[in-house]
Each structure stands twice: as structure tokens, then as C-alpha cells.
Structure 1
């Protein structure tokens, strides 16, 4: 059977598992935001995904960042192992990679009859598994990973309506939290760039003042002198300015204390 695009058919009744109420989602949010490390947080999430899904299938969280795919968390060691089998499966790949590439849910009904992905099915059968359910993880508009569920039973019993809705809820919530984490990382990167830019600007201004005093020239002329020196020696303006200050004071310039304005 091909990839399943709609994990929650409209004619199925809503899932009302108490484990998926707002209290659970708030608890999950608190774990991810309060933990000291995102790896630990995602491990907690994988365990929670297994716990609240009917039948408690094994869970793994795969992320693709910077072109690299890796399993960052799993509810059991076996889930980590079977995730990584498909990474070494060459161009054939596996359901997790297909879910990430396509942005759609990929369901394997029965590994005993599954012919996609080459030898992947045989490897999983050897580990006592019969079905797989991979749900893409979205951070904003970008698919950055997948929540992978592995069960010893076929999909008709392991990934029925209740299980699919549970997985969809967890995957959606995980994506929102990962989006927040990535936004925070980008904010930190922008802050660091701003810090460097302001520190370099302060150094340039100090060097301009030194040259104005030494050469009795205007600020514009001092700036032009440093720019020409940078072009001649293939160095940045900040590096030239630091050399000017060092030659004048005998010490490398120190950046001024930075106050984050964001």
C-alpha cells in the first residue's frame, strides 16, 4: 500500500483519549522548554508518544538539519536501531526518509508483504516488527523530521483511528515546539552577529579617532585611509582598525560591554 496522506479520515469519530488533553500538552511543553538540553527533552517526548498511543508502539524522533539525518530520540534502544537501518539503506531509504521528503504520512501495513525500500522490511521483521507509521514533523512551513512508530502487530490493529489521531496530535505539538527551538537558535545567532558588528564598529570608531589625532585629518579621511589599507592587504576594516589601535596603545582593543537590545 502506498503512503497514507490523511491519517484521520473524516468519517471516523473524534479521538477522546484523556492522555491528550490540554494538561498533557502543557506538561509536554514544560518538559521541552524547562529541560537543560533539547536531546533530553526529545527523549521525554518520544517516551510520551509511545505511552499515549494505543498499544504503546516504539517511538523514534528523526530530524534533518543541515542536510544530515539522524535519530535524536527514541523510547527504546530498538527504535533507535531500526531508525538508523534505513539511513544505511542507500538510495532505497525507508518510510521515515520518505515521510520527510514528501511531507506526508507513510504507513507500512505489513512488513511481511512490503516491497518498498529493498531489504529494509526484512531487517525490521528480524527485530520482531510488523508495521511502521511515520508522521512528518513541521517547524513552520518546513518539514524537518519525522515521528516514527514501530509495532509488532500489523497496521490494521496497531495504527487504527485512535492511534493515528494520537500520533498526529503529538507530531503537531512536537513541530510547534521544534519551531520555537529553531527560532530561539536563530535569535541567538542574530544576537551574536549584532554583538560582533557593534564591537567591530566601536573598534573602527576608536581607530578613526587615533588617525585623526596622528594625521590631523578629518574622520572621513581617516576612514578612507583604513579602507584603502584593507583593500591593499585583503583584510577587513575591523582588522585594520584593531591594528591601528594596537600600534598606538600597545594592546589589542577590547570590545565594549554588550547589552542585547532585542
Structure 2
């Protein structure tokens, strides 16, 4: 069949598919650069959500939920309306993202307001003018690390092609999300260790001040600080910090001795 013999609309369809491939490729390239960007976790997740909007045809906005161990989940969005939709979803405890993360399957709806799977969620979201959703679980070999929600105002905005592109994008997106979580966990651990070290140094300085002022041994100085902490119902490090800061103020307020001529 020659180009002239092709059905009407075929060149447009071919051009559209090429554009979709280009958008997907650009999104995947963006994902590949995130690991070296050294950005805060919410910014990394937001960028992944933006790449999803670019990669999935028909999308008007997207949100991403990172499932956190022993902490509240981290939720980001690319547009304000997405935040409203996700607030409803998590408020009522049902919706496409929750289903996708729970069942580890891609979830599509072309008429959210009439979708029987989420009766409490659907009507409220439809009143916002949002009618289509595609939610993709972010799955690694070990676990489901989160889910990506892509929304559209139009009805039936997402077809099998959108689902196919979304699933292709979701594979490296899950890896990027997992890497971001690992880096964030390492940063949080480093900060906790630094705080612990700083607190120990403050306590040791306070112990030294008590020893110098009272002429007692280290054990007794530490015991006095502990008793003061218990009496005032504050943490030991707070007592120590107050003592150290007071000593520093006193030192600054003393007149400087003038050298002898």
C-alpha cells in the first residue's frame, strides 16, 4: 500500500504516535538524570510526576504517593487540582491510587463520578470537573514503593495506548522513587547522628562547667544535671544547653582585661 492508498487519518495517527514516543523518551531521559541532581525528596517526586504528565497522552496533572515505612506517606502533585483530588481520595479511604497500590495493578477510569468501585470518591471528584484517571503502581522487585495518579478533565481520556505508555514509564519511575527514598533515608540518618553527636558535646561541656564551678568529680556533675532535668521535667540536653548558653553570655559580658603597659 502506498502513502496515497492509506486510510484517511493514518498519517495523523503515525505522527501522533511519533510525538508520543518523543514525549516518553524525553520523560525517561529526565528520570535518568534525577539520581545525580541531589534534590530534596519532595522535589524529586514532583519532577517524576511532571514527567508522567509528559509521558502519558491526555494527562492534565499528576500526583505521586511514596509509601513510607514507619512515617506518613509523602504525597506530591503537579497542580493544585490534583492535590484536591488526592485529599478527597485519602480522606474517604478509597480511589484509584489506593486500589493501584493495594493490588499492584494499573487502574483506569474514564468516568470517575459513575465508577462503582469508589462511590464516595467519585461524586466529589466529578464535581471538581475531573473525570478520568489512570493510576500506576510503582513496583520494584522487592515491594510496591508507591503509586502514580494521572488525571484528566475530559471523560475517557486514557485508552490502552495511554496505559501502555504509562506502564513503560512506571518501571524506571519506580526505581527512581526507590533510589530517592534510599537517599532520603541516608540523609535523615546522617542528620540524626549529627544531632546525637551535637547533644553529647553540649552535655559534656555542661558537665565540665559544673565540675569547674563546684569542684566535684565528673560523675557527681553529671548526676546534678540529671537531677535538675528530672526536677524541671525537661530533657537533659535542654538543661545542658541552657547552662552552656548562660556561661557563654557571662563570658561575653565580662570586661576585657587591658594589658599592662
Normalising by structure 1, we get a TM-score of: 0.63
- Distance in structure 1 (CA, Å) of the matches to 2:164 and 2:130: 23
Contact 2:207/2:218 (<8 A) preserved: no
Equivalent positions of 1:44-123 (< 5 A) are 44-56=47-59, 58-63=61-66, 71-74=75-78, 76-88=79-91, 90-91=92-93, 93-100=94-101, 102=102, 104-111=104-111, 114-123=115-124
- 1:2-81 equivalences in 2 (<5 Å): 18-19=25-26, 23-31=29-37, 33-34=38-39, 38-56=41-59, 58-63=61-66, 71-74=75-78, 76-81=79-84
Q: 1:157-199: CA deviations, max 9, x gaps?
A: 2543332121232233123213312431332233123212221
- Determine if the alignment matches structure 1 residue 196 to structure 2 residue 202: no
User: Which whole-Å CA distance do the structure 2 matches of 1:247 and 1:169 have between them?
Assistant: 54
Over 3 Å counting, the alpha-carbon distance change for 1:202 and 1:249 in structure 2 is closer
Of the three residues 179, 187, 196, the one matched with 2:182 is 179
Alignment of 1:205-244 (within 5 A): 205-212=208-215, 217-227=216-226
Shift of 1:77: 3.9
Matches of 1:154 and 1:245, distance apart in 2: 63
SS in 1 for 2:197: helix
DSSP-derived class of the 1:62 partner = strand
Q: Which moved more, 1:43-52 or 1:223-232?
A: 223-232
Structure 1 residues 57 and 222, CA, compared in 2 at 3 Å: closer, same or farther? closer
Describe the SS at the equivalent of 2:174. Answer: helix
Q: Which residue of 2 aligns with 1:251?
A: 250
| Aligned 8 A contact 2:59 2:150 in 1 | no
Count residues in correspondence: 225
TM-score, normalised with respect to structure 2: 0.63
Instruction: Tell me the C-alpha RMSD between the 2 structures.
Output: 4.2
User: 174-183 or 102-111: which moved more?
Assistant: 102-111
Higher helix share: 2
Q: For the residues of structure 2 that align with 1:246 and 1:85, how far apart are their CA atoms? A: 48
The gaps in structure 2 that reach 5 residues or longer are: 1-20, 253-261
Q: Does the 8 Å CA contact 2:62/2:149 hold for their aligned counterparts?
A: yes
Aligned to 2:8: none
Larger radius of gyration: 2
Partner residue, 1:157 = 160
Long gaps (5+) in structure 1: 1-14, 254-262
Distance, in Å, in 1 between the alignment partners of 2:104 and 2:228 is 55
Q: 1:137 to 1:202 in 2, by over 3 A?
A: farther
Change (3 A) 1:98 1:226: same
